[in-house]
Amino acid sequence: MADEMKKNDSVKPAEEAKAPKKRFGMKKKKDLNIFQEEQIQTPWKTVVRTFRSNKLSMGAFILFMAILIFMLVAPYFFHIDLGYNEPMQANLPPSNNYMSYPEAMKHEPRDVAVGSVFGVGAAKDGQVYAWGETSLFSMPDLNDTKPKAMKDVVQVAAGYDHVLALDSKGKIWAWGNRRNGQLNIPGELRTVKSIKQIAAGYKFSVAVTEDGKTYAWGNTMNYEYNDMHPYQGKIAKVAVSTSVVTGLTKDGQVVYLGTNQNSYAKVPEGKFVDIGATSYAFAGVREDGTVVDWGNTSYRRMDGKDHPIPEFPAKAKLISGGINHFAVVLEDGSIKAWGVSDQGQTRVPEGIKGVKWIKSGFYQNYYETGSGELKSFGLRGYTLGTDEFGRDVLTRIVNGGRLSLTIGSLAVVISTFIGMALGGISGYFGGKVDMVIQRFSEVVASFPFLPTIILLNSIIGDKFDSTQKVYLIMILLGLLGWVGLMRLVRAQVLSLREQEFVTAARALGIKEMGIVFQHIIPNVISVIIVSATLDFAGYLLYEATLSFLGFGVQPPQPTWGNMLFGANNSTIIQNFWWRWVFPALILSICIICINLIGTGLDDAIDPKSQER
């Protein structure tokens, strides 16, 4: 008995090894041969299993679905303004380093200034550093062209494409773009040793001396400034917009330093302690801590929303402005900002306290904390660069992708429905019905596809707005692209209409149209799916081709095709590669993925491809 028990015990482990192991409470699925598989699985399960085993097609499917989901969801986060136009941000290369200041600037900097796509600062040791896109507009790098003899800098100013620096001895240094004379410091300033402030605007520069006099130089056609204004000798500080100079007198009065009487000249009354400027507006902090603005105050609504001056929990004491926003430092050391925030320039980080000063410009803000550390918030750069209007390429690819994919998918739906219906009817009824449909399809197929769409689009396209034109393109693509699928469906129906299940359906009295669409068409659905998948890639190419040729969706509404149309000259191809590489790359990836998916489906559905 004991020997028998030992024998059973020795056999048990071997039996357990042979038994199927449980996985999450279920038995492990046995490997089935092809005949067992077909007995227990539906044909569609077999197709799915076969398709999943094709690593290339499955990888293409996963990649395409990721792109599709991203293009459908991302526009809710990458909002697009079709009227956006910012020449100062035009044709910028891909970058995210606009606020990547060097280590030497991180603690107790003397001053910081913001240029168009770069920053410049004076460190605590008096050295000057520039960061961001410092190689501007085919010019040498700002770090390479800064004067070698310059040292002990106490103040810096940055314009659109030039930099000013003031050293401890009162000397002004200038470098960058000199084409408009913004670096030509007036001779009388070279002998002045008591300069209080320097400021830089769009292709011009301004300086204020300790005795209250102002000097301006640069493109005199670009800015509004009167060097003989009655306030000479009384100015303590200036603020410059794109083309206007406004001053703050020593007794706290805000004065307009131009010649023309306009909205900038209508300055508010009261005594002020600080002033700042955006591109087209000015704002100031009164002695009582309130803030008021004047000039072209449309900066509050440039994105279609209202951005009034907010209520502050404490009195304001300092103010600074960028392109279309203002930021103030309050007496409690916090920061408040308002205006357009399309680049995050007014999204102040939470928990800021003890701020000593803030310097804003264009789309960036820099501030020094109570511990002497330099911090920043705002635009860090454009991941895929900008186009000729300063529009973010990534935002346009995302929003254009949704439209391109929508046009392609709806065109497929239209052509598939027409091809399936006409092919089913033609193949089932035959005779005169078949003859009429086939002759009609030959007439449609005889028209050259792209020239026909271009012609129709040219004839009736001008009568529609941009949204209606999108629907027009979808319909035209669908109405002219069904012939191939119709012939495939017709051939399949011809082979199925004499099968036993069709005869049985007739015997049961089912109507003929019901037999076609309820019994025959479901048996050729595999052919339809493969054809529609491959046609989808074709329609994406057709839309891109039409838009590239200028006959598709028109800018500023983006699609991948018209983004390529905007880059169809040698200058852009050579110098601004990001404007065509990224749209072409994403379009190519989608088309290749769709074709691989279609090929994988064809192999999975075709029994011959499984070597059975």
Phi first, then psi: give them for residue 554, nearest 5 degrees: -90, 145
Indicate left, alpha or beta for 281 from its phi (over 0: left) and psi (-120 to 50: alpha): beta
Number of domains composing the chain: 3
In a domain, 534, yes or no: yes
Q: Which domain CATH number covers 206?
A: 2.130.10.30
Mean residue pLDDT of the chain comes to 87
Q: Which amino acid is at 487?
A: R
Would residue 591 count as lying in a domain?
Answer: yes
Indicate if 398 and 544 belong to the same structural domain.
yes
Give the end of a domain, one of 355, 381, 407: 381
Residue 15 has pLDDT above 90, yes or no: no
281 and 196 both lie in a single domain:
no
Task: Tell which of 324, 349, 381 closes a domain.
Answer: 381
**pLDDT digits over 349-380, tens only?**
988 889 999 999 999 999 999 999 999 999 99
* pLDDT-based confidence at residue 609 (cuts at 50, 70, 90): low
Residue 237 covered by a domain: no
Q: Residue 467: pLDDT band by 50, 70, 90 thresholds?
A: confident
Q: Which of 22-26, 326-330, 463-467, 551-555 has the highest mean pLDDT?
A: 326-330
Lowest mean pLDDT among 66-70, 95-99, 133-137, 378-382: 133-137
Task: Tell me, yes or no, whether 374 and 422 share the same domain.
Answer: no
Q: Is residue 128 predicted with pLDDT exceeding 80?
A: yes
Check whether residue 165 and residue 265 sit in a common domain.
Answer: no
The DSSP H or E segment spanning 536 is: helix 525-549
pLDDT at 246: 95
Q: Is residue 250 part of a domain?
A: no
Q: Residues 408, 553: one domain?
A: yes
CB 218 within 8 A of CB 182: yes
From 321, 352, 381, the end of a domain falls on 381
CA distance 115 to 164: 11
pLDDT of 406 over the 50 cut = yes
Contact 83, 556 (CB under 8 A): yes
Note the pLDDT of residue 1: 47
DSSP state of 382: B
How are beta strands 118-122 and 111-114 bridged, if at all? antiparallel
* Contact call for residues 207 and 195 (beta carbons, < 8 A): yes
Q: How far apart are CA 275 and CA 252, in angstroms?
A: 10
pLDDT reported for residue 55: 93
The answer to whether the beta carbons of residues 405 and 71 sit under 8 Å apart is: yes
- Measured from the Cβ of residue 542, the count of other Cβ atoms closer than 10 Å reads 24
- Assess whether pLDDT exceeds 70 at residue 104: yes
In this prediction, what percent of the chain has a pLDDT beyond 70? 91
**Confidence check: pLDDT of 256 > 90:** yes
Task: Burial-class residue 563 by CB neighbours within 10 Å (0-12, 13-18, 19+).
Answer: buried
The better pLDDT of the pair 65, 19 is held by 65
Are 587 and 440 contained in the same domain?
Answer: yes
pLDDT score recorded for residue 582: 96
Q: Are residues 288 and 413 in the same domain?
A: no
Concatenating the DSSP letter of every residue in 305-366 gives S--PPPPPSS-EEEEEE-SSEEEEEETTS-EEEEE--TTSTT-PPTT-----EEEEETTEEE
Give yes or no: residues 484 and 439 share one domain: yes
| Across 44-53, 60-69, 168-177, 581-590, least confident range | 44-53
> 247 lies in a domain?
no
> Which is higher by pLDDT, 140 or 181?
181
> What is the tens place of the pLDDT at every residue in 181-196?
999 999 888 777 789 9
* pLDDT tops 90 at residue 584: yes
Residue 298 falls within a domain, yes or no? yes
Using the predicted structure, report yes or no on whether residue 447 has a pLDDT greater than 90.
no
Q: What is the pLDDT of residues 522-552, one digit of tens each?
A: 888 888 988 999 899 999 988 888 888 777 7
Asked if residues 327 and 316 have their Cβ atoms less than 8 Å apart, the reply is no
CA 354 to chain centre: 35
Tokens matching residue 169: 């001895």
Quote the pLDDT of residue 612: 44
User: pLDDT tens digits for 492-533?
Assistant: 999 888 888 888 888 888 898 988 888 888 888 888 988 999
Residues 376 and 411 in one domain: no
Q: What pLDDT score does 138 carry?
A: 63
How many helices (H) and strands (E) would you count in the chain?
16, 23
Same domain, 164 and 267: no
Domain membership flag for residue 518? yes
Residues 185 and 70 in one domain: no
Residue 58 inside a domain? The answer is yes
Instruction: Give the per-residue pLDDT at 18.
Output: 47
What residue numbers bound the domain in which 61 lies? 54-78+392-610
pLDDT > 90 fraction of the chain, expressed in percent and rounded: 55
* pLDDT tens digits, one per residue of 277-314: 999 899 999 999 999 999 988 888 877 788 899 999 99
Average pLDDT over residues 248-274: 91
CATH code (residue 450): 1.10.3720.10
Quick one: 372 and 412 in the same domain? no
Task: Give the pLDDT confidence score for residue 31 in this predicted structure.
Answer: 57
